[in-house]
Amino acid sequence: MTLAYETVSENRSFGGVQGVYRHQSQATGTPMTFAVYLPPQAQHGKVPVLWYLSGLTCTHENAMTKAGAQEWAAEFGIALIFPDTSPRGDGVANDDAYDLGQGAGFYVDATQEPWAPHFKMWHYITHELPELVFGNFPLDRDAQGITGHSMGGHGALTIAMTFPQRYKSVSAFAPIAHPSESDWGRKQFTAYLGEDKAAWAAHDATLLMRERGYPGEILIDQGASDQFLHLLKPEALAHAMAERRQPGTIRMQEGYDHSYFFVQTFIPDHIRWHAERL
């Protein structure tokens, strides 16, 4: 596996450095862009890592510029990693709908045509990109947390429950909590993974919660005025957590919607949450 990458940009931010980088991915067979924020503490040694997975239509840039996370990452001495949400470019399958194809990888490894050649986002996020960033940046591999918004919250929860020894902390903003029973899930899982619902279960946070749970606490914030609540299905995950006696908190935030104004408001709580556990 190549660890080579190129620097797209680097900017000073809250005493640290916000960088954007590009590399040739073996997992997707395409160039992939990602962002890393290194807090000022990284000048003196390895720092904990918080992965932030973004939602539908997003690139690495959305959370990097809209979440307001760098100030709090600098305060708590945590690095932030913002991956892209899918492969992109000429020759990469796409769809006219915003919720399938480029910008909508759903953090799975596609097995169906025309998606299978490039849509390997599970492998990319859990294997290839970690090897690259830990091989090139002053990051503590033993202190990783993961979070995300919407489709990215789905990815964060499913990845953390699959690799609980790797991710010491997990949180989510308005995650797609039960995709097997939502139009944000059934459509994409059928396209990427086929009709066999057994293959879907490994990527459904509610089903994973029922099956295995997570060894630590979980923090989830959900806007009570979210226009996509009927697609997110937080009540299904809440019920599964209650059945399992899963330690954690789901907070319904009155008046908040699905936007990055919601994320900006609660990102300090989430970074503090991860800092306490990392």
C-alpha span between 213 and 130 (Å, rounded): 23
Task: Please check whether residue 193 lies inside any domain of the structure.
Answer: yes
pLDDT computed for residue 176 by the predictor: 98
Is 0.85 topped by the overall pTM? yes
pLDDT computed for residue 2 by the predictor: 52
pLDDT computed for residue 68 by the predictor: 97
Residues 6+ apart with CB under 8 A from 22: 5, 6, 8, 31, 32, 33, 34
34: phi then psi, degrees, rounded to nearest 5: -145, 160
Task: Please check whether residue 196 lies inside any domain of the structure.
Answer: yes
Range of the domain at 186: 6-276
Task: Please check whether residue 145 lies inside any domain of the structure.
Answer: yes
Record the tokens describing residue 55, joined without a space.
């939602």
Active site residues: 150, 226, 258
Q: Which residues of the chain have pLDDT under 50?
A: none
105-117: b or e for each residue (b if 16 or more CB lie within 10 Å)? bbbbbbeeeebee
What is the domain-level CATH number for residue 116? 3.40.50.1820
**Looking at the 3D structure of the chain, how many domains does it have?**
1
Task: Please check whether residue 21 lies inside any domain of the structure.
Answer: yes
C-alpha span between 202 and 277 (Å, rounded): 25
C-alpha span between 92 and 231 (Å, rounded): 27
Task: Please check whether residue 1 lies inside any domain of the structure.
Answer: no
Are 145 and 164 a contacting pair, CB within 8 Å?
Answer: no
Task: Please check whether residue 30 lies inside any domain of the structure.
Answer: yes
